[in-house]
Structure 1
Amino acid sequence: MSDASGTDASRTDASGTLDEALERLHTTGPERNGWLTNHAPMAVEALVRNGQAPTVHRWLDHYAHKLEELPPPSRPVAADDWREALGDPVRITDWTRFFGRELAERPWREVLAAWWPRLLPGIAASATHPVIRTGHAVRTLLTSEGAPAGGGTTAPRLAELAHALGYWAARSKPLPPLAALAAAPTAAAALDAVPPVPVQEGGIRDRLPQLTAFPAWGAAPDPDTAKALLTELVTAATHRYATHGHGEPIMLVHAATAPNAVLRALPALPRELWAPSLAAAWTAAAAVTAAYTPPEPAAYPPTALTAQEITAEEVTAEEVFERAAAHGDDHTIKFTDTALDVGDPLALAAAIRSIELNPPLF
């Protein structure tokens, strides 16, 4: 997989498009209709990072009908009473303003390290979207740190981290207590062994309370092992979408994009947080899998693109992302971005599968 801290010139956005898009989006809230997530900040970051900056404002114009204004503030979150406000969605704007103040006063890595362990127990909140948004924001800041003149960390990029962390804090909600099932030898085997929730109906808020147990997997005695196992999990979940994504094409992308958000954040976190980050990422991937996995896998390979074609380099990773960008669906763009991080033929075929399964924006 690629390194989330990479700083090649093609990904630093000297055009300023990302900052423009984020400033445009920071007048809007993280949700609409009281629950559904605003995916635009994540999608535009993925578009810019993968060479599609010229398409960003057109994409936002098409997505604009899904945006709502920031919710009104309630009362400020203070450093000594944050526990009372944790998990209160009415306080979304209060939390965003709190993190804005924190990031104005301290280095962003310091703020992230302080709050990461406090937020990890609620990683599955809002269908894992807050941690995914945080992962995109952190990746941008890591990339910005090594940018040449004209790039670097900017106010909109720091503000995006405040919005992401604020959303996570406001929606934070731990999963029910979970028992450990028999240990699985690999991430792929662990995902296959996740028991589906008994009632496969309703939204994720109806399904997650039904969780009772997951296979034991991912014990990490040291940070390097934790990172390696987290990489394995992202790869396994991405590959699995090729054959299981039809169970719920939109929701099952999060089984891969949520742990990948955690993987992207690791370089910015103290190493002692890497093992608990792996444990939380496994919980998130397993929860989404349990909530939406289909009874049977689908035939592989996908009809539009075979793994053999990708292996023969008839279709490049850049071309796969171009297809996702042209398709326009926000989940498809983010999943394809994760598939490019994995980078192997099966991951790219899974990305094509997401393009086949999900409804296009355009």
Structure 2
Amino acid sequence: MFTSLKGIYPDPSAGERLPSLIADIGRHSGEFPVLLANHLPMVLEAMGRLGASPARLEEYAEHYTRIHAVPFPAAQLGQLDASNWETVLGQREHEGDLRRFFQGVVGEIGGHAAIRRYLPRLFPGVAASATHGLMRLAYAVLRSDDTEIAVALGYWAATYLSYDAIPADRRRDAIDPVSLLLDMHADPRLRNIDAPTYLLWKWIEAVGKVPAFRERLGRLAPSPDLLGRMRPASLALFAATMSFEALHAVTGCHWLRLVSPHLDEPQRLAMHFWEVVMALYTKIDMPTLPSPEVLDQWRTVRVPPDEIIAAAAVASNDEHDHSLVFSAFEEFRDTGDPLYKVVAARRMGLIDFDANALQGQVTG
């Protein structure tokens, strides 16, 4: 098996270069103009684990920072502490202040303890920066990087986005995340939603104001096996659509899996994350999901070796290629489901996939 799937950098010198490179890049803001997520600290780690050389990592870091004009956080606006940090949730201009607050917390009690203590307050706002606050935290946990944990908590808090005013007495009677999607599919009120589309998080925010969608919020039960149910549902949705939105469902489940061991009630974070997936489901016209039989046929599609898929991702300048392929490999490691490798190969254009004939062939 490809060595990076065991958490080893195929090029050991990349592993030596990454800490200082990510530390330098990590000083930049979590977003760049206009309100788009800065993936760079995370995808550099993914690229390294997929086999990138130090030269490729440095080249991509320079390219990304330059073309996106990634800024630094705003200068200090105020002093935050445990008594007042929540008053600036969702206020991007306070990203620097929130970073400094969490740097103090992490310095005092450590990164993992900070996650356990403070992240539950941020659960409802997991849509922060279109879930990329979660991404940054997950990669910080993957790296056991306390500096990045503090940055990620500050980023998540500054871009916090939640669905508010859900009735407290609403019955959490849904245990299957797929059933909620199918229920939405059958509701014509959720079609042709008029919402801004240039930012993913703006769509998530806008859908949260649609009455027919709000009826479904708060219904998912935070059962202990919720993430285990969400992962195959997300994979099926992405395999069926290969959409940008469903890609974030697959990668997001990986991020949840990384963060969950550091939480007392990880299923509550998963519950809020799935409501974000539900919002994005409306953006891709709420397709039906493939049957188990069709998914099983797709699993038989022949794909290139891991090294070829990984090399294609490393060579790409699209941060979503690095993110998807690394998460797909990691989820395959954990589940053994070959469909993860099929969607990774498809994303990289390495197989010709005829969804009607249910066949795929290696290109080139």
- Range class of TM-score, shorter chain: 0.7 to 0.9
Aligned partner of 1:241: which letter? F
Match of 2:239?
A: 242
What per-residue deviation string (whole Å, max 9, x for no partner) do you get for residues 71-95 of structure 1?
2221121111112122211100100
Q: Give 1:232 shift.
A: 3.1
1:342 to 2:323 alignment:
no
Q: TM-score, normalised by structure 1?
A: 0.77
Cα 1:181–1:50, aligned 2, differ >3 Å: closer, same or farther? farther
Residues 284/258 of structure 1: CA separation in 2 closer, same or farther (3 Å cut)? farther
Compared CA separation, residues 13 and 104, structure 1 to 2 (3 A): farther
CA distance in 2, matches of 1:31, 1:69: 9
- Could you say which structure has the greater relative contact order, defined with CA pairs below 8 angstroms and 6 or more residues apart? 1
How many residues end up aligned between the 2 structures?
320
Give the corresponding residue for 2:82: 79
Partner deviation per Cα, 1:271-305 (whole Å, 9 max, x = no partner): x3123233223223223223x223546999xxxxx
1:254 aligns with 2:254: no
Residues 295 and 240 (structure 1 numbering): CA distance in 2 closer, same or farther, change over 3 Å?
Answer: closer
Pair 1:260–1:250, CA change in 2 (3 A): same
TM-superposed deviation, 1:61: 2.1
Native 8 Å contact 1:214 1:286 kept in 2: no
| Aligned equivalents of 2:26, 2:172: Cα separation in 1 | 45
| Aligned residue number for residue 231 of structure 1 | 228
SS of corresponding position for 2:216: strand
Tell which structure's C-alpha radius of gyration is larger: 2
Shift of 1:96: 0.8
Query: Which AA in structure 1 matches 2:92?
Result: P
Q: Look up the match of 1:147.
A: none
Match for residue 57 of structure 2?
56
What residue in structure 2 maps to residue 91 of structure 1? 94
Cα deviation, 1:191-232, whole Å, max 9, x if unaligned, reads 444454641542341433334243854541xxxxx2x43133
**Structure 2 unmatched ranges of 5 or more:** 292-297, 351-364
Alpha-carbon contact 1:218-1:278 (below 8 Å) kept = no
AA paired with 1:90? E
Shift of 1:178: 5.5
Q: Which runs of 5+ in 1 are unaligned?
A: 1-5, 142-156, 221-225, 301-305, 358-362
Which residue number corresponds to residue 269 of structure 2? Answer: 277
Q: Partner residue of 1:327? A: 316
Structure 1: which amino acid aligns with 2:347? S
**Matched residue of 2:300: which SS?**
helix
Identity %: 22
Shift in alpha-carbon separation, 1:286–1:133, aligned structure 2, 3 A: same
Distance 1:95 1:58, change over 3 A: same
Instruction: Look up the match of 1:308.
Output: 300
TM-score by length of 2: 0.76
TM superposition shift of 1:264: 0.9
